Amino acid sequence: MVRVYNCLIIACVILLLMSCTGVGKVFHPTVACVNESPLQSGVVLTATLLSDTGVTMADKQDSLGERFSFLNQVHEDYSKQYSAQRVLLIAFVVVLVIVCVFLALSLRAYYIKHLLNVKLTLQKHRLLRQRDEMALQIEMAEQDRHRLEEEKDRLIEEKLLREEQLEPGDKFVLPELSHKTEEEYEEAIVRFQKKLTKVIESRMDDSELTVDMIGAEMNLSRVQLYRKCKAASGISPIELLRTIRLQKSHALLHETDMTVSEVAYTVGFSSPSYFAKCYKDQYGVNPSNDGASFSFACGRQVKGKKS
């Protein structure tokens, strides 16, 4: 636009000069070049060129305007595309951040889980080791208890035997029945055995039952009880008590579904392991492999194999 204005100003100046020189008529550029003077011809030619230049520049201006409009349109399209790409980029960054956070949390959770598993494994091994140590201690304590039980029974037997040897009287017969007939003697023996068995069975569940307690129930001293029991059954009161308990436990194992521990405590044994030892010595089989509960378990296994 500035160039066009400059061209117009130059044309006006030329026309003004022409009017000042007396040239005021209308002319044709070609005729002017032939008929006029060289100066006038140059001025006319210059005006013609300036006019053509103005027209050309106006066309260029229109072309530039179109290009400028096209560039504006391209710029707007690019701005829209840039905005869309920016939104996509922001969304991608947000998703990437979320994924990174999720991965970080997952790794942290996995690490914590791994630490907990390690701690639990160590604690499990420690507990298993403690359990094994406690089981070993319990087994050793049970063995010591067995020895103590056997030693106690042996000492009681020896004490009763010494007392029986020191006191006068017939060692092989009941003194008060020495003048009775053989039939009366046997009847008295049977009555004594029944009474003694009844007393023992009535207090069988008492693990603290002693020979003195049984003698008190029978109104007999320890030595008298030992002599009569030995004469009637051929065994000492301690052995008779253990035998009656084992017979009762044998019946309970075959007639009920009680466990070995329940049977042991029911018949007066303070230790299931000691009961198992005495039972095996008496019947030649472990109590866990004898009785109704063992037969039921074997039956279930057989049925399971058949099915």
Taking only the tens place, the pLDDT of each residue in 172-188 is 445 555 555 677 777 88
* Model pLDDT, residue 95: 94
Sequence-distant (6+) residues with CB within 8 A of 153 are: 238, 242
Structure tokens at 244: 């009656």
CA distance 200 to 41: 164
pLDDT at 118: 92
Q: Which of 28, 26, 4 is nearest to 15 (CA)?
A: 26
Maximum CA pair distance of the chain?
A: 199
- pLDDT given for residue 167 in this prediction: 57
Looking at residue 116, what is its pLDDT?
A: 92
Res 106: pLDDT: 92
CA angle 48, 54, 60 (to 5 degrees): 140
- Alpha-carbon distance of 37 to 35, in angstroms, equals 7
Classify 210 as helix, strand or coil: coil
pLDDT at 306: 44
The reported pLDDT for the residue numbered 176 is: 53
pLDDT tens-place string over residues 253-290: 988 888 998 998 899 888 888 888 889 888 889 888 87
Pull the structure tokens for residue 21.
């020189």
Q: Which tokens in the block code for residue 289? A: 């492999």
Distance CA 55, CA 43 (A): 18
CA 126 remoteness from chain centre: 17
Q: How far apart are CA 293 and CA 6, in angstroms?
A: 126
Instruction: Report helix, strand or coil for 260.
Output: helix
pLDDT number for residue 270 = 82
DSSP for residue 176: G
Q: What is the 3-state secondary structure (H, E, C) of 104-141?
A: HHHHHHHHHHHHHHHHHHHHHHHHHHHHHHHHHHHHHH
User: Where are the chain's structural domains?
Assistant: 2-64, 126-306
Q: What are φ and ψ of residue 181, in 5° steps?
A: -75, 170
How many Cβ atoms are within 10 Å of 214's Cβ, its own excluded?
21
Q: Using alpha carbons only, give the angle 295, 296, 299 rounded to the nearest 5 degrees.
A: 85
Count Cβ neighbours within 10 Å for each residue of 39-68 and write b for 16 or more, e otherwise: ebeebbeebeebeeebeebeeeeeeeeeee
Extract the residue ranges of the chain whose pLDDT is less than 50: 2, 22-36, 170-173, 294, 296-307
- φ and ψ of 92, to 5 deg: -65, -40
- pLDDT (0 to 100) of residue 144: 73
| CATH placement of domain 126-306 | 1.10.10.60
pLDDT in the model for residue 156: 72
